[in-house]
Amino acid sequence: MHRVWVASVLAVPFAAVMSLIGVQNGGLAAPTAYLDEVKLAETSKGTETVKYYDVRGSSIDELRRDVFSRGPYDERNGQRYAGWAEWRIQWSFDRRVVPQGCAVSRAATETHVQYTLPRWVDADKAPAELRKRWQEFVEALMQHELGHGQLARELADRIEFAIESLPPEPTCEELDRKVNELATRMILEDDTQEAYDRETLHGQTQGAAFPSIVVRASAK
């Protein structure tokens, strides 16, 4: 048996609460300053981490403005978001020589997910009711982001099964190419993340709405 490690990675970001928090059109968006990064889980199948950006304010309007200024920025559409999930899938496989040529004997995947969330650093200066609403929002936002992570892990499981189901190829080089093409195609064609956002309205149906006013994020 010949061991082959294919360190192929595709990173795909998904922004939660796409139309949740945004303010005023125009102006330059401030760079995002990320602080603590906390590891939520680490296994042989991957990792989960969360990093935070600090926001300040003592009212809904102030918090909304700070989230707009500091939240994760998506260069693809010029929008900022309250929450973000980014995942990478790595795949590897063992190959062996068979009468038909070269075959996969075992496959493995790792999924690495990083969540980005807001952290209200001066909440002690705000009214209790506002703090309560913020906490409910952040907890719901985290649950929505965790859903993106779970979908990524489920996709990795499907990739692993699909790699192991590939038929033999005449050469190991051809097998390597087929494995990488298959895994890459499955990631690019997967629509479960987008469907999840459509079904949950980017987390709003899960409670990730603060306040109960939906404002589409503005372009920078």
Domain ranges (residues) in the chain: 2-206
Query: What integer is the mean pLDDT of 132-154?
Result: 92
Residue 76 has a pLDDT of 76
Query: With 70 as the cut, is the pLDDT of residue 182 above it?
Result: yes
pLDDT digits (tens, 9 = 90+) for 45-83: 899 999 999 999 988 888 888 888 888 887 877 878 888
Residue 53 has a pLDDT of 92
Euclidean distance between CA atoms 172 and 104, whole angstroms: 9
pTM of the predicted model over 0.85:
no
Euclidean distance between CA atoms 141 and 149, whole angstroms: 13
Residue 210 has a pLDDT of 67
Residue 51 has a pLDDT of 92
Query: What integer is the mean pLDDT of 189-205?
Result: 89
Strands (E), 17-146: 34-43, 46-55, 73-74, 79-80, 83-98, 101-120
SS3 (DSSP) at 23: coil
Answer yes or no: are the C-beta atoms of 29 and 219 closer than 8 Å: no
pLDDT digits (tens, 9 = 90+) for 92-130: 999 999 999 999 999 999 999 999 999 999 999 889 999
